[in-house]
């Protein structure tokens, strides 16, 4: 028998079940990025948790971000255990999400753009609203970046640069559902995470003022992806709108890519909005090609 229950704060047993389900999904789908211990990925923190069980076994899970994105839309992540797919679990979870949010704005992520997710979304009255592309490139001999006149490059200094980076980020991503809402407190919390490396966080300055940045990231090795090696990421490239148009975005991207290459990495990925044509053009010229796509459905 399939049953669902909402939980504000999962207890230890529920967390074990959620983690086991996410790990099982990762084995099949390559996502989400979850480890066997430690905290759950950030997209599953806070908010509300919806657990689906079949005869007491974890069958499905949805996380609802009740604080919403930058435009006030509640956003859900929905994952079904591989052993319980095509058994109506995703449909039940979707119905429960719609009932919980009511007439409010609701968006649901489908990672990997599976046809089954598209069918469930259509039946539930959702439409395809957003594509987030995952691009990949094999590391190559990228050229030295050419900075615009008067612009210099340095690396991030923890305890000094948080506010100025957040100010540039807010202006650069005022259109973005998530990135534009990044806070100083969230940036400082990220600095405490094991992957954070200030040496891979590049700031561009003109006349002593930060006008852009490139924040890189290195993911640990995954035996099922990228030859079982660590992979670099063009995590965030932000350019102040007042400094756009002079090739600064490309220069910052090259600086980060060369840094990742110097770290001995052979693969680099990035996430980019499917309708961001200028960014896609830059990345394609640097050798990136489409690797995967995530879809956000809107009700």
Q: β-strand 231-239 against 267-273: which pairing, if any?
A: parallel
* Residue 284 counted as an annotated binding residue: no
Q: Is the dihedral of CA 101, 102, 105, 110 positive or negative?
A: positive
> Is 91 part of any known ligand binding site?
yes
Instruction: Check residue 176 and give its pLDDT.
Output: 92
Given a contact cutoff of 8 angstroms between Cβ atoms, the answer to whether 268 and 234 are in contact is: yes
Instruction: Report pLDDT for 102.
Output: 80
Q: Which domains does the chain have, with CATH numbers?
A: 2-125 (3.40.630.30), 136-292 (3.40.630.30)
User: Is 35 a known ligand-binding residue?
Assistant: no
Q: Is 105 annotated as a binding residue?
A: no
Residue 245 marked ligand-binding: yes
Q: Consult the annotation and say whether 193 binds a ligand.
A: no
90 is in an annotated binding site: yes
Would you say 48 is a known binding-site residue?
Answer: no
- Beta strand 209-219 pairing with 48-54: unpaired
Question: What is the value of pTM for the model shown?
Answer: 0.88
Q: Which residues of the chain fall below pLDDT 50?
A: none
Structure tokens at 264: 């001995």
Helix axes 184-191, 162-172, angle to 10 degrees: 120
What is the 3-state composition of the chain as percent helix, strand, coil, each rounded to the nearest 5?
A: 35, 30, 35
Tell me if 246 is assigned to a ligand binding site: yes
176-190, pLDDT tens digit by residue? 998 989 999 999 999
């Amino acid at each position: 028998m399939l049953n669902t229950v909402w939980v504000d704060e999962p207890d230890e047993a529920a967390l074990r079940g959620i983690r086991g389900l996410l790990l099982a999904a990762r084995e099949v789908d390559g996502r989400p990025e979850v480890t066997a211990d430690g905290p759950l990925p950030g997209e599953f923190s806070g908010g509300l948790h919806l657990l689906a069980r079949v005869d007491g076994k974890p069958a499905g899970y949805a996380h609802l971000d009740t604080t919403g994105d930058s435009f006030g839309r509640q956003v859900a992540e929905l994952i079904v255990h591989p052993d319980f797919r095509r058994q109506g679990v995703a449909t039940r979870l979707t119905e429960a999400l719609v009932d919980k949010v009511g007439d409010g704005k609701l968006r649901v992520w489908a990672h990997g753009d599976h046809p089954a997710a598209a069918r469930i979304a259509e039946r539930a009255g959702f439409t395809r609203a957003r594509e987030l592309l995952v691009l990949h490139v094999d590391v190559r001999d990228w050229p030295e970046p050419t900075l615009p006149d008067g612009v210099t490059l340095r690396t991030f200094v923890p305890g000094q640069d948080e506010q100025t980076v957040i100010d540039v980020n807010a202006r650069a991503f005022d259109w973005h559902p998530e990135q534009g809402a990044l806070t100083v407190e969230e940036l400082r919390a990220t600095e405490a995470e094991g992957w954070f490396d200030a040496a891979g966080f590049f700031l561009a300055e003109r006349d002593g003022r930060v006008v852009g940045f490139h924040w890189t990231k290195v993911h640990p090795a995954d035996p099922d992806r990228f030859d079982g090696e660590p992979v670099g990421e063009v995590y965030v490239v932000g350019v102040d709108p007042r400094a756009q148009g002079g090739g600064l975005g490309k220069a910052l991207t090259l600086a980060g890519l060369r840094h990742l290459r110097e770290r001995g990495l052979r693969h680099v990925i990035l996430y980019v909005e499917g309708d961001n044509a200028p960014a896609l053009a830059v990345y394609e010229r640097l050798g990136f090609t489409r690797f995967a796509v995530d879809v956000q459905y809107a009700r």
